[in-house]
Amino acid sequence: MIIAEACRQVLKDVGVNPERTALEWASAAEAPRFVELITRYVSAVKSIGPLGKAEGENKEAVIGMHLKAGAKAASALKVRTALGKLAKDIKKSGDYSPGIISEGVTKKVFPAFREERLTQEVQICLSEIGPCKSADLSEKTGGGIKEIGKILETLSRKKMVKKQGSNWYGIGMGNQES
Amino acid sequence: MTAGDFNPHILGFFCHWCCYAAADAAGVSRYQYPPNVRVIRVMCTGRIDLRFILEAFGCGADGVFTGG
Amino acid sequence: MVEAGRSPNIEILTSARLENLDGKPGRFTAIVHQEPRFIDDDKCTACGTCTMYCPMPVVDLFNERLDITRAPHIDYAQAVPTSYYIDARACLRINYETCNLCAQTCTAQAIDFSQKPRKLNLDIGAVVLAPGFGRIDPSVLKKYGYGRFHNVVTSMEFERLTCASGPTEGHVVRLSDREPLKKIAFLQCVGSRDEICGNGYCSSVCCMYAIKEASVAKEHDPDLEVVLFFMDIRTQGKGFDAARERAEEKYGLRVIRARIPRVDQVDGRLALTWTTDDGKSCSELFDMVVLSEGLSAPKDAEAIAEIAGIELNHYGFCKTCVDSPLVASRKGVYVAGAFQGPKDIPESVTQASGVAAMVSELLSEARNTQTVTLSYPEEDKAIESEGPRIGVFVCHCGSNIAGVVDINAVRDYAGTLPDVVFCRDTLYSCSQDALKGIASKIKGNRLNRVVIAACSPRTHEPLFQETLKSIGLNPALIEMANIRDQCSWVHSQEPEAATEKAKEIVRMAVAKARLLEPLEQTTVDVSPTALVIGGGAAGMTAALCIADQGFECLLVERSDKLGGNLRRLVWTMDGGEASEVLDNLIKRVDGHPLVCVMLEAQVEDVSGYVGNFTSSIVKAGQPVVVDHGVIVIATGGREYSPTSYQYGVNKRVVTQLELEKSLASGKGILKNIKNVVMIQCVGSRGEDMRHCSRLCCTQAIKNALKLKGIKPDIRIYCLYRDMRTYGFSEDLFKEARKRGVIFIRYEPDRRPEVIERDGRIKVRVFDRLLKDEIDISACLVVLSVGITPGANDVLANVLKAPLTPEGFFLEAHVKLRPVELASEGIYVCGLAHGPKPLDESIAQAKAAAAKAAIPLAKGKAQVASIVSRVDKAACIGCGICESLCPFNAIRLFRVNKRRKAETITASCKGCGICASHCPTLAISMGGFTDEAIMAQIHAFAGERCV
């Protein structure tokens, strides 16, 4: 349930309609319910339309990149630790009410994810497109100017990016996550 | 492409004990439902990692259905 | 059920009945008569073609005659054996030698009309009677309109109507016109607590199942109006009251207390007329009336009793005693379930396990002499470690798959997939000869990964795994592509889309198969000793039962003597002497060579897992360390100590146990008393404790009758909320009313008060009939205090075992695993599990002993192969996995001052929550690795993947 909520928030961030995911329960004896759920879900997705197009963005370029960075971010230590900690705390408290879960994800998991996603994406942009202005990076990644600025700063401290004039360059673009 | 002939490509993660079993039971009863879902069986929905879902969308899935 | 069907040591004889039983315990000869099924269950693939072609409709008895089926049919999809059978009364071939359509259309050739009834002579050691319960006679139901009015149904019928796979697919409709319902009533106690129909007892289960059925109906249609008519609400099971209150609130169920209303039909609707317990007369119209029918003795109880040579009680159920609730009157014959008395699922399952222990005690010398174990050749590690050589077998399943999916296309497509070196289609992959063929093809082509594109891994994977094992391959090297249950069957109108889907399913399966790795089939040795914590009735019974099955047992008791709460009890519910039961238990425990008792000792620390626990037990300040294989918790409970009703202030206010003691000694407070007031639910049901203590109602009545026995002129008032004298205890309730005990019901918001003035006691209570408060002067006030859990939290902490909100130990599954904890190797019984009377504690102790003896008897604990594994190098010791694991199957330990996680494979259930939440991706799941799932996702995408 925590994963499902994280998933919704994260998808929104990468520009995918969260209604494209569903978490439903059907017990072994509930075949008709299962059929109803699946049928309803398939038609819901149908009415949303194909991934990317329906989101109003160019699928390959934007969502593709967001998702690529997102998948990497979901493997990142910081994000996973935040998610794991939240799951641990909620289990301990025993309170699984949707409000609590949603608040926990918003406060604890989502910021870590967004920062990591943008960090990944900045690096992907720089390595795939080449040198960019920070405004371009902000537009491509969907991150705010301030957010991107902070990320670039951190990255340059780690000697992953370098600034020359108003352009940013990537250095040795590998995946920094082990 | 109109909405009518759009055939979404959907990935399902089904719990072995619950939803997967319900899907089997639907087969036994010959209920019909749209053929758009491909299923990955897991032993429990707890197995599902955020990465899987993002990866699936990254691979072009139009939807991801988790069935517990 | 599936497990029973799969065990090589359980032979299931269907359509069979016992005809004779000779011999003595350990050496019986039974004659069993078996009717033919006319369908060979080894060959039947449960495809359903026979039902489809059969021209002969028959009423569907499983669906309570609300549906029709055909002569060949299966009751429900999950039936075991999963095989169809032919109703001989309707079959044209059997009766007129015509038709034969089913035999002609069955491609598996499973129909066999040459089958004849047969008689079997069985040499057996013990007999367990579990024929269940019988139905209430229709003439009783007729009183309430059943059979006269269409829309009066039984609860059994209603159950089928609400069932998603039932005749109306879960839509609750009026039977008269199949229209949806607006208003519905449940009438309780139909065929129960009814002397006129001969069933004076309470059926124990109807109150709760009515609440359940009402909830299901409301879930389906939130606008439905539901009214339930109760005399007493008897939801005394563990957690039942809480569940009922939740349901009443969530679904807005209306509860009316009244005797069973009269049912009439007015303008097509049903008119109910009743009188409430405060004397008002009411009438309302309903669309449907559900009769909550009770449980009768089985129809053939008398025949069973005569053949098995056992006695029945006066209601026709099997006769048993309080201290041996599972033993029938003939030695070596045992009983479990509703035949012993009406009971719910948890108690039935508990008794069934208990009975297994009794049989195991009786036959312990013969253990492992006739059991079947299967052996396999050595695994061929060389082949397994070669690069993947995948074989794909695509099954036609007769026309079940091939009728929709283009098998050749799927097979040829499979051949184009990476690492697939062999592909073949088969008619019925699961048939014996096909399995042989598959085995030889695997060997001949040096295949080391196998994909079977056929039906569901849930039903058939074990079969194909067997095949792999039989030729020296690891059973984990197979992957099934479910192109029947989840493809051809559900997309039969769209063959092209189905074929496309089948190809993709196979593609995903192959992608996973490429990454399959052999999984270790490990076993761990078991320390053949049990630790039983708590030396009361449950603990002693469990210890003796384990010891009688031939295993050592360490019984740890906190106090300085054995006995627990049983010491304080004077009489058992059936009037027997409690001390006799106690003395007998203690004598046997003391004299048993395999039971070692430690008094004044406490368990301070437990580590390890099933088969290999190590505990530190402190006695007289000195810790003793013991190794053992299993743990039975029997720490008991306590009598609740009230702070209200002047208890402890006035010595004329006592508890039931204190009264009982005085009754036995005939001294003290009993002198010169004329009026006694008993107050029920003191502490229980929302006063201090949320739960119902289950036994106080019967206890109060037992003592009231004793009082009446000693002083027939004494006046006894019993102030109660619901009299929960379930089962045969209802007889005592009836007897008490007959003997003049006055029962006054009170509402929880108007509890009685005990008032003392000038040394005299009065009890003030609101009388619902008079609609006013009345004062009853009392020489003695007896409080029916409930059962409160002992200091379970301390032990729960040591064992990392969960407790219920009320503080009792939480079982792994309320209905199916009532004596096991979620962590393997730990069992619970007696009051530590929840309040219950002595006979139920004893049955439960036997059940816990049965479960505990399983790992002990096996000597080795089989470890499941789908388990998690932690990569120590990647682990950062954050402990998230440890805290999230629902089975305590991960522990942290220190290596070079760093914390590292480790899976206790014996406890792991393979759910994977640890892997999906590991920050460093250090945990891998056997059979469901990240890589394999990612490969499936990529294969799902095919060319789409960016």
- C281 shares a domain with C146: yes
Rounded to 5°, the CA angle C497-C503-C507 comes to 140
**Residue whose token pair is 């069992």:** C827
- Mean pLDDT rounded to a whole number for chain C: 93
Query: Cβ–Cβ of A51/B62 closer than 8 Å?
Result: yes
- State the pLDDT at residue C758: 86
Token pair listed for C306: 């005569």
Q: In what order do the strands lie in the sheet with C622-628?
A: C601-609, C612-619, C622-628
Q: Are B13 and B64 in contact (CB under 8 A)?
A: yes
Whether residue C327 is contained in a domain is answered as no
Q: How far is C419 from chain B (nearest CA, A)?
A: 20
Mean pLDDT, to the nearest integer, of A158-165?
82
In the chain, the amino acid numbered C545 is C
pLDDT recorded at residue A175: 42
Tens of pLDDT, residue by residue over C783-809, are 999 999 988 999 998 888 888 889 999
- Does the beta-carbon distance from A70 to B58 stay under 8 Å? yes
Q: Over range A136-164, report the average pLDDT.
A: 86
Binary contact (A6, B50; C-beta < 8 A)? yes
Average pLDDT over residues C407-428: 94
For C731, residues 6+ apart whose C-beta sits below 8 A from its C-beta are C200, C201
Residue C103 φ then ψ, to 5°: -65, -35
Residue with tokens 């940013």: A168
Alpha-carbon distance A165 to nearest alpha carbon in chain B (angstroms): 34
- The count of structural domains within chain C is 6
In chain B, which residues have their Cβ closer than 8 Å to the Cβ of C940? Answer: 9, 11, 38, 40, 56, 59, 61
Q: In this complex, do C915 and B47 lie within 8 Å of one another by their Cβ atoms?
A: yes
Q: What are the residue ranges of helices labelled H in C336-431?
A: 345-362, 381-385, 407-415
Do residue C946 and residue B24 have CB atoms under 8 angstroms apart? no
Q: Do the beta carbons of residue C521 and residue C499 sit within 8 Å?
A: no
Q: Taking CB atoms and an 8 Å cutoff, what residues of chain B touch C937?
A: 11, 40, 52, 55-56, 59
For C551-642, list the strands marked E by DSSP.
552-556, 595-598, 601-609, 612-619, 622-628, 630-633, 637-639
Tell me, yes or no, whether C685 and C754 share the same domain: yes
Specify whether the CB–CB gap between C557 and C601 falls below 8 A.
yes
Q: Which two tokens stand for residue C583?
A: 């003395």
Query: Mean pLDDT across the stretch B30-42?
Result: 94
A18 interfaces chain B, CB cutoff of 8 Å: no
Read off the DSSP letter of residue C566: G
Residue C102 has a pLDDT of: 96
Is C279 in contact with C144 (CB distance < 8 Å)?
no
C242 burial class (0-12, 13-18, 19+ CB within 10 angstroms)? middle
Q: DSSP for C774-830? A: EEEEESEEEEEE-EEE-SHHHHHHHHT--B-TTSSBPPSBTTTBTTB-SSTTEEE-G
Instruction: Report the residue from C485, C491, C494 with minimal CB separation from B24.
Output: C485
B19-29 tens-digit pLDDT: 998 999 899 88
C-alpha distance from A112 to closest chain C C-alpha (Å): 13
CB atoms C498 and B32 under 8 Å: no
CA-based nearest residue to C908, from C922, C924, C888: C888
Please give the residue of chain C at the shortest CA–CA distance from B16.
C458
Phi, psi of C834 (to 5 degrees): 160, 160
pLDDT at position C301 is 97
As given in the structure block, the two tokens for residue C1 are 């059920």
pLDDT in tens, C845-902: 999 999 999 999 989 877 778 889 999 999 999 999 999 998 888 999 888 889 999 9
Average of per-residue pLDDT across A102-126: 91
Q: Are C166 and C283 in the same domain?
A: yes
C656 and C778 assigned to the same domain: yes
- In angstroms, the CA C333 to CA C24 distance is 10
Q: Would you call A47 an interface residue with chain C, using a CB distance cutoff of 8 Å?
A: no
Rg (CA), chain C: 31
**Are C822 and C752 members of one domain?**
no
Cβ contact (<8 Å) for C883 and A91? yes
DSSP 8-state code for residue A20: G
- Span C774-780, average pLDDT: 95
- pLDDT tens, residue by residue, C378-387: 888 889 889 9
The amino acid that residue C924 corresponds to is: S
Residue C321 confidence (pLDDT): 93
Structure confidence at residue B3 as a pLDDT band (50, 70, 90): very low
- What pLDDT was estimated at residue A176? 43
Boundary residue ending a domain (C467, C485, C513):
C513
- CA–centroid distance for C161 within its chain: 23
The tokens for C533 are: 């914590």
Q: Which residue in this structure is represented by tokens 């009836």? A: C734
Strand order in the sheet with C449-454: C420-426, C390-395, C449-454, C478-482
pLDDT (mean) for C455-459: 90
Phi, psi of C603 (to 5 degrees): -80, 120
Instruction: Beginning with the edge strand found earlier in the chain, give each strand of the sheet holding C760-767 in spatial order.
Output: C753-757, C760-767, C772-778
Please tell me the distance from the alpha carbon of residue C540 to that of residue C838, in angstroms, as a whole number: 13
Instruction: Specify the pLDDT at position C864.
Output: 74
Nearest CA to CA, how far is A113 from chain B (Å)?
Answer: 11
The tokens describing B40, both together, are 């990955």
Burial of C421 (0-12, 13-18, 19+ CB in 10 A): middle
| Chain C stretch 829-868, residues whose beta carbon is closer than 8 A to a beta carbon of chain B | 866
Q: How far apart are CA C138 and CA C146, in angstroms?
A: 8
What is the β-pairing status of strands C68-70 and C57-59?
antiparallel
Positions of E strands within C634-671: 637-639, 653-655
Give residue-wise pLDDT tens across range C133-144: 999 999 999 999
> What pLDDT score does A178 carry?
34
What pLDDT, on the 0 to 100 scale, is given for residue A158? 86
**pLDDT tens digit string along C251-277?**
999 999 999 999 999 998 999 999 988
List strand residue ranges (DSSP E) for C54-159, in order.
57-59, 68-70, 72-73, 85-86, 118-124, 127-129, 152-154
The answer on pLDDT for A60 being more than 70 is no
Put simply, whether A60 touches B (Cβ < 8 Å) is no
In chain C, pLDDT over 70 holds for what percent of residues? 99
Q: Dmax over Cα atoms in chain B, in whole Å?
A: 38
Distances (CA, A) of C845 to C362, C477, C527, C553, C563: 17, 42, 21, 14, 14
Dist CA C800 CA C879 (whole Å): 15
Contact between B24 and C486 using a beta-carbon 8 Å cutoff: yes
Residue spans of alpha helices (H) in C515-613: 537-548, 578-591
Instruction: Find, in chain C, the residue whose alpha carbon is nearest to that of A92.
Output: C883
Residue A174 binned pLDDT confidence (cut-offs 50, 70, 90)? very low
Are C538 and C546 within 8 A, CB to CB? no
Domain spans of chain A, in order of start: 2-16+51-130
Residue span of the structural domain in which C40 resides: 2-124
In a domain, C777, yes or no: yes
Structure token pair of residue C749 = 């918001």
Share of chain A above pLDDT 70, in %: 93
Which positions ≥6 away from B19 have C-beta within 8 Å?
Answer: A24, A25, A26, A34, B12, B67, B68
pLDDT for res B2: 46
Q: Does residue A80 belong to the interface with chain C, where contact is any CB pair within 8 Å?
A: yes
What is the torsional sign of CA C910, C913, C919, C921?
Answer: positive
Confidence of residue C946 (pLDDT cuts 50, 70, 90): very low
A interface test, pick of B29, B53, B64 with most A CB neighbours within 10 Å: B53
Q: Are residues C247 and C149 in the same domain?
A: yes
| CATH number of residue C689's parent domain | 3.50.50.60
Give the DSSP H/E element, type plus range, for residue C505.
helix C495-514
List chain C residues with CB under 8 Å of B39: 482, 486, 505
Per-residue confidence (pLDDT) for residue C879, from 0 to 100: 92
If residue C229 lies in a helix (H) or strand (E), which one and from where to where?
A: strand C225-230
Pair (C145, C276) in one structural domain: yes
**Chains contacting C (3+ CB pairs below 8 angstroms):** A, B
**Does a structural domain hold residue C917?**
yes
Nearest Cα residue in chain A from B67:
A24
Domain match, C668 and C750 both:
yes
Verify whether the Cβ–Cβ distance B18 to A4 is below 8 Å: no
Sheet with C254-257, side-by-side order of all strands: C152-154, C288-293, C183-190, C225-230, C254-257
Check residue B4 and report its DSSP letter: G
- CB neighbour list of residue C26: distance below 8 Å, 6 or more residues apart: C125, C126, C332, C362, C363, C366
Q: According to the model, what pLDDT value does residue A61 have?
A: 65
- The whole-number pLDDT of residue A52 equals 81
